[in-house]
Amino acid sequence: MPTEPLSQKEIEDRLRELPGWSVENDRLTRAYRLGDHFAATALVVHVARIQQELNHHSDLTLGYDSVALSVHTHSAGGALTEKDFELAERVERIAPGHGAR
């Protein structure tokens, strides 16, 4: 997958396809509230598997009943790339109920 930085327009277009995701501090971010610690921990495990498959790792923050992700591409100087959006799309497909912030 290319690691060329996306333009601002490309980022905005891709964000329209990912409700709940936003760009904060030049990173693609999303938070999920999952109801309990077991569900939040399970999501972290699933996200870790996706990250390994894609060889692309995000910052994860695990709370009692929540998980927050922050994604950017180190090899592109910290810019957002297709790799970041591929990771976000894959996480959305497995997130329980696509939990709200």
Domains of the chain, earliest start first: 8-98 (3.30.1360.20)
pLDDT of residue 70: 97
> Does residue 71 have a pLDDT over 80?
yes
Tokens of 8: 């601002």
> Does residue 100 have a pLDDT over 80?
no
pLDDT tens per residue across span 35-66: 999 999 999 999 999 999 999 999 999 999 99
Q: What is the pTM of this model?
A: 0.90
Whole-number Cα distances in Å, 84 to 16, 36, 99: 15, 27, 19
Question: Is the dihedral angle over the CA atoms 74, 49, 92, 33 positive or is it negative?
Answer: negative
pLDDT of residue 61: 97
